[in-house]
């Protein structure tokens, strides 16, 4: 049964009022693959373009998006996010790995906030670098782990 439809199959926000407030965390990951010449150019420029610092801009955009997830995804509850941290690593190869970790004490989880933060950070990397190539590939985007609430999800 889908959680966002009522007994009459109409779209509906999940009623979380009876759930306990617990600490809830989620971590999502997005990957951005750059053509080799673009990855090399980014490294040589210290991950900066004429638009500015690429990774720093993506981090700010991702955090802003995570905080506004309820405005973007129907039926997401507005949450007072207590922490949102985004890390971007491009140590080796042509792929940037973005990890977005979100924490809140609430009646509902923050998976969508973590996924939104990672996704928007990835889109920002694309936007900052598209002048160098339109062959940049975003994906996959996935939930890595979540804790709190009814069930935990962790990597195997």
Beta carbons within 8 Å of 75's beta carbon, 6+ residues apart: 4, 11, 12, 13, 14
Asked if 42 and 34 touch (Cβ cutoff 8 Å), the reply is: yes
Measured between alpha carbons, how far is 77 from 113 in angstroms, rounded to an integer?
10
Beta carbons within 8 Å of 106's beta carbon, 6+ residues apart: 21, 22, 24, 77, 79, 80
Residue of 7, 40, 92, 127 with catalytic role: 127
127 is catalytic: yes
Measured between alpha carbons, how far is 83 from 76 in angstroms, rounded to an integer?
18
Residue 16 tokens read as: 């979380």
The catalytic residue positions are 127
């Amino acid at each position: 049964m889908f959680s966002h439809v009522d007994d009459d199959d109409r779209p509906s926000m999940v009623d979380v009022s009876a759930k306990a407030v617990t600490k809830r965390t989620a971590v999502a990951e997005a990957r951005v693959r750059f053509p080799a010449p673009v990855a090399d150019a980014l490294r040589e420029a210290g991950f900066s373009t004429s638009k500015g610092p690429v990774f720093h801009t993506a981090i700010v955009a991702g955090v802003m998006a995570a905080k506004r997830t309820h405005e973007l995804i129907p039926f997401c509850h507005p949450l007072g996010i207590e922490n949102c941290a985004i890390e971007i690593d491009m140590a080796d190869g042509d792929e940037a790995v973005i990890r977005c970790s979100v924490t809140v004490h609430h009646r509902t989880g923050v998976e969508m906030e973590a996924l939104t933060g990672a996704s928007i950070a990835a889109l920002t990397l694309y936007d900052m670098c598209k002048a160098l190539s339109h062959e940049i590939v975003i994906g996959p985007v996935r939930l890595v782990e979540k804790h709190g609430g009814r069930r935990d999800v962790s990597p195997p």
